[in-house]
Structure 1
Amino acid sequence: MNTLSCLIVDDEPIAREILAAFCAHIPELRVVGHCENAFEAKSVLTETPVDLLFLDIDMPELDGLSFLRTLTQKPQVIFTTAYREFAVDAFDLAACDYLLKPIPLPRFMAAVDKAITTLNKATQNRNEGHLTNCVTGSDNSLFLKSDGKLIRIVKSDFLVAEAIGKQVKITSETKLLTVTIPLSVLEQKLTGAGFVRIHRSFLINVSKIDYIEGNRVYIQSTSIPIGEYYREAFMKQIGS
């Protein structure tokens, strides 16, 4: 795993600053936001799912434990709190770790290492489980399992793939199909010149781009957003 997106949730500004400074020491971490309460965090997570959540417990209106119980899709969670007495409840919620304030940097780094290990294992298991749905046919084609059939996609015909939940919708010049694989697995199978991730949910064939306008790519009248995190690398790749 190259980077982990993480969100810091704490009602104390100094605590948020310390955690952000700690995160800056770890290249694998990319902080996507700082929230001062659970409601702000809920809004961010609705728009931007994250890999790792640094979560305070004692917050106004909705405490960290109660907030975590509201999430249907739970990221890895490292609780950051001044209170020892909530540790059992935290681990009952499958927390990755429980850090007591003031948090020493070495202890913080150990907790992050644990989260990275857990996430890497989960990713490996998912990918291994999905490999049977994605079989390399040749240098020019790919076989993808859809509706119980292995369907051949010619790589040069590939237009765009869109991740929708646990499935990927693939559009080519001649076919439209939905497969149950992570977009990252498809990206690995299409590694090479011409195929690029431009958004966390979109993979495209650069050779099929008609034009780019603002933060969107257009392929055969289909509008595809360019994610802020991917924009710089994408523009460099196309020489702009």
Structure 2
Amino acid sequence: MKILIVDDEVFVHGIFEAICKNIDDVTIVNKFKDSRKALDFLEDNKVDLIFLDIQMPEFTGLDFLNELDKKGLQTSVAIVTSNPEYAIDVINNNNVVYFIKKPLHKYSIKYSIKEAIKGAIHRKSLLEASISMKKSKENKEEKSTHTFFSCNRRMINLSHDDIMVIKSLEGGANILTDKEPIISSYSLKEIETKLPASTFIRIHKSYIVNAKKIELIYDNLVIIGQYHVPIGRTHSAKFKEYLANN
């Protein structure tokens, strides 16, 4: 396990080093007094666990955690602080796995470090399981080529390649295909859950589009054949993210 120490007190670095060198499969890869420099280090280096002091000058541990979230860095963090009230500020942060209270005592710190490592290992296993499930779902979606739609007491099996745009209607949805439109009793929300998210994306409260059919995006409009579909404000960020990753 690779560990990073971020604390403005040098003697704290020494305490962690002394304990960690006697724990199997644990390596302290770097130590920082300046949390900004620690963030720069993490841009190019991956670690499993960060021991993070909260009360640091200028750029605090809370600032550090906020930047981790902004950068999307999934790194386990053990908070090291003399003020337990900070727990309220970080208790819901997904990166935080443990709290260690200062001052550090030689009799309790070894136990605390080991518990923090256990927390990091457990969190890593949960993340890996989540990623595995997501990939499995995506693979299943990619293999799916048709979906059944309820249409006037009938079930019609539509090819995904035939669907261009789906528009919300009162009591159902209008599925616009490259052949003829089909009125389904399914709501737009129901249809969204049935179709593969890798291909179909909701870009407006009233519209889902087949991303493979998009010919042009002009200002806030998506052009698919004869259809000009507006991009809703609440869906704009998600749509931009989709485009960036596909």
Which residue type is aligned with residue 64 of structure 2?
F
Which residue type is aligned with residue 54 of structure 1?
F
Residue 78 of structure 2 aligns to a residue whose secondary structure is strand
C-alpha RMSD over aligned residues: 2.7
* Pair 1:66–1:132, CA change in 2 (3 A): closer
CA distance in 2, matches of 1:97, 1:40: 23
1:17 alignment partner, one of 6, 14, 17: 14
Post-superposition offset of 1:25 = 2.8
**Structure 2 residue 122 is the aligned partner of structure 1 residue 122:** no
The equivalent residue for 1:45 is 42
Contact 1:68 1:74 in 2 (8 A): no
The equivalent residue for 1:76 is 76
Query: Which 5+ residue runs of structure 1 have no aligned equivalent?
Result: 134-144, 150-240
Contact 2:81 2:100 in 1 (8 A): yes
Contact 1:54 1:77 in 2 (8 A): yes
Residue 31 of structure 2 aligns to a residue whose secondary structure is strand
The equivalent residue for 1:33 is 30
* Pair 1:128–1:109, CA change in 2 (3 A): same
* Pair 1:130–1:26, CA change in 2 (3 A): farther
CA distance in 2, matches of 1:89, 1:11: 20
The equivalent residue for 1:172 is none
CA distance in 1, matches of 2:20, 2:80: 13
Which residue type is aligned with residue 100 of structure 1?
K
Post-superposition offset of 1:68 = 0.9
**Structure 2 residue 115 is the aligned partner of structure 1 residue 110:** yes
Query: Which 5+ residue runs of structure 2 have no aligned equivalent?
Result: 144-246
Post-superposition offset of 1:88 = 1.2
The equivalent residue for 1:62 is 59
Identity among equivalent positions (%) equals: 29
Which residue type is aligned with residue 15 of structure 2?
I
Contact 1:90 1:98 in 2 (8 A): no
CA distance in 2, matches of 1:42, 1:29: 21
Contact 2:48 2:120 in 1 (8 A): no
CA distance in 1, matches of 2:129, 2:57: 38
* Pair 1:125–1:81, CA change in 2 (3 A): same
CA distance in 1, matches of 2:97, 2:75: 10
* Pair 1:86–1:106, CA change in 2 (3 A): same
Which residue type is aligned with residue 87 of structure 1?
A
Post-superposition offset of 1:26 = 2.6
Contact 1:55 1:80 in 2 (8 A): yes
CA distance in 2, matches of 1:20, 1:124: 31
Residue 96 of structure 1 aligns to a residue whose secondary structure is strand
**Structure 2 residue 90 is the aligned partner of structure 1 residue 90:** yes
- 1:83-112 alpha-carbon deviations (Å, 9 max, x no partner): 222111121323111110215211221222
Residue 97 of structure 1 aligns to a residue whose secondary structure is strand
Contact 2:8 2:32 in 1 (8 A): yes
Post-superposition offset of 1:28 = 3.3
Structure 2 counterparts to residues 187-206 of structure 1, below 5 A: none
Which residue type is aligned with residue 81 of structure 1?
T
* Pair 1:28–1:118, CA change in 2 (3 A): farther
Which residue type is aligned with residue 31 of structure 1?
I
Contact 2:98 2:115 in 1 (8 A): no
- 1:181-234 alpha-carbon deviations (Å, 9 max, x no partner): xxxxxxxxxxxxxxxxxxxxxxxxxxxxxxxxxxxxxxxxxxxxxxxxxxxxxx
Which residue type is aligned with residue 96 of structure 1?
V
Structure 2 counterparts to residues 200-239 of structure 1, below 5 A: none
CA distance in 1, matches of 2:22, 2:121: 15
Residue 92 of structure 1 aligns to a residue whose secondary structure is coil
